[in-house]
């Protein structure tokens, strides 16, 4: 819990509980690892806002049903030689809805909060208002994320059909970026009055004060990611290698993966556990001492790491793709290059920044301002509460 959330907790006892929320989740709400900690942060904010929150466990399928699901997937693959979205299809959705409706008979809540679970709510019939939340529409991820690629046309039709039903059946659909919100409105025809954008916050403790006067004798670029391929670590490395060859004083710190690259200006830390106090402090130190977060991602919705960078006053250099622009504003708190930008393009952009230390300082200050204004969980809680009060 950072300093902003501590201030919120001081006011918690003054609030009256006026609504009971059923939080639909596959794991207990106290689990801080679920969705990289985002589920816990939302649960925490609902409590801070004064709501009573109960866990509605996600429906479970029998071994026999799971066996049928695998059979359907394999049969589809064998007949059409294409992939099948085994997480989202009509047969499974109907079973889930029937089971969920039965489970809800013993649950007395004023509203159901459904983060991310499209399949289970498509066919659900209930008088309880449902608020759906996600960082993207599944249809946006088809052939965008590698694990949503290669599906056959029939599977894609099923996926989109069920997602549209879930959105239509929800009282509100909340997304973490305009990229996702606008898609729901434009592609699915969802009423724009029921589609809302609320940006996520940082899932780590953020310091109350930031030193914006870092030394510019050498510039440290932090690549903080687990997925070296999708986050395009090789592109980041090649870009900085060009700058190094041009004589710029740069070094790179890779945290979260091990690409097995060796260079005297490069440091690799394969893994740091946020839940380990000592290792978390190490992450904090890297965020505080770096000059940029450099993650030229290939595909992303709204990376939490970019919210965390903002909290630490760290400008971001990345790609203008997906919902990234929800957290990084071109020319304000960082630079967003086109999806087809190469290492030379990144090197040229970064080189201009290095030659203008004042611009870097302004980006850093702006990043922190953006965190204070929008990219924090307190703001999420306040904005989400406004939606709940309209039900």
Q: Encode pLDDT of 111-151 as tens digits.
A: 999 999 999 999 999 999 999 999 999 999 999 999 999 99
The confidence band for 312, taking pLDDT boundaries of 50, 70 and 90, is very high
pTM of the model: 0.94
pLDDT digits (tens, 9 = 90+) for 172-201: 999 999 999 999 999 999 999 999 999 999
Average pLDDT, the chain: 96
pLDDT in tens, 232-263: 999 999 999 999 999 999 999 999 999 999 99
The residues spanned by each domain of the chain are: 3-201+376-388, 219-373
Q: Would the pLDDT of 330 be above 90?
A: yes
Give 343's pLDDT tier (boundaries 50, 70, 90). Answer: very high
CA distance 101 to 198: 29
Rounded CA-CA distance 356/364 in Å is: 13
Whether pLDDT at 226 is above 90: yes
What is the CATH code of the structural domain delimited by 219-373? 3.40.50.2000
> What does R_g of the chain's alpha carbons equal in angstroms?
22
Q: Higher-confidence residue: 98 or 274?
A: 98
pLDDT of residue 18: 78
Which tens digit of pLDDT belongs to each residue from 16-34? 667 999 999 999 999 998 9
**CATH T-level fold of 3-201+376-388:** Rossmann fold (3.40.50)
Inform me whether the pLDDT recorded for 274 exceeds 90: no
> For residue 367, what pLDDT is reported?
99
> What separation in angstroms does the CA of 197 have from each of 42, 108, 182, 214?
15, 28, 9, 34
What proportion of the chain, given as a percentage, has pLDDT over 70?
96
**Predicted pLDDT at 332:** 99
The values of phi and psi at residue 272, to 5°, are: -135, 130
Task: Report, as an integer, the average pLDDT of 313-329.
Answer: 99
The lowest-confidence range among 95-104, 261-270, 272-281, 319-328 is 272-281
Residue 3 confidence (pLDDT) above 80? no
């Amino acid at each position: 819990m950072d300093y902003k959330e501590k201030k919120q907790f001081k006011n918690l006892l003054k609030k009256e509980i006026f609504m009971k929320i059923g939080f639909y989740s596959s794991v207990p709400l106290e689990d801080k690892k679920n969705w990289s900690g985002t589920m816990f942060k939302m649960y925490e904010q609902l409590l801070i806002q004064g709501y009573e929150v109960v866990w509605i466990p996600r429906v479970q399928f029998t071994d026999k049903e799971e066996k049928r699901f695998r059979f359907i997937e394999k049969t589809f693959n064998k007949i059409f030689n294409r992939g099948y979205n085994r997480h989202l299809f009509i047969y499974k959705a109907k079973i889930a809805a029937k089971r969920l409706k039965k489970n809800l008979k013993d649950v007395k809540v004023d509203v159901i909060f459904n983060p991310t679970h499209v399949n289970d709510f498509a066919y659900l019939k209930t008088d309880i208002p449902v608020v759906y939340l996600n960082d993207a529409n599944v249809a946006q991820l088809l052939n965008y994320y590698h694990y949503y690629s290669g599906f056959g046309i029939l599977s894609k039709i099923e996926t989109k059909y069920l997602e549209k039903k879930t959105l239509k059946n929800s009282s509100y659909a909340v997304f973490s970026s305009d990229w996702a919100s606008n898609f729901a409105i434009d592609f699915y025809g969802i009423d724009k009055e029921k589609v809302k954008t609320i940006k996520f916050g940082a899932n780590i403790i953020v310091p109350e004060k930031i030193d914006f006067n870092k030394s510019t004798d050498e510039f440290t670029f932090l690549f903080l990611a687990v997925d070296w391929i999708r986050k395009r670590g090789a592109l980041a490395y090649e870009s900085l290698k060009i700058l190094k060859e041009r004589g710029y004083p740069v070094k790179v710190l890779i945290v979260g993966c091990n690409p097995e690259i060796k260079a005297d200006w490069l440091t690799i830390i394969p893994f740091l556990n946020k839940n380990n106090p000592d290792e978390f402090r190490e992450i904090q130190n890297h965020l505080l001492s770096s000059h940029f977060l450099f993650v030229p991602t290939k595909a992303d919705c709204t990376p939490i790491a970019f919210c965390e960078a903002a909290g630490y006053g760290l400008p971001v250099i990345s790609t203008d793709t997906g919902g990234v622009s929800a957290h990084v504003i071109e020319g304000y708190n960082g630079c967003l290059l086109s999806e087809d930008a190469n290492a030379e393009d990144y090197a040229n952009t970064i080189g201009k920044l290095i030659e203008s230390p004042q611009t870097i300082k302004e980006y850093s200050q702006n990043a922190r301002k953006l965190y204070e204004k929008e990219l924090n969980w307190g703001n999420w809680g306040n904005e989400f509460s406004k939606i709940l009060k309209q039900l």
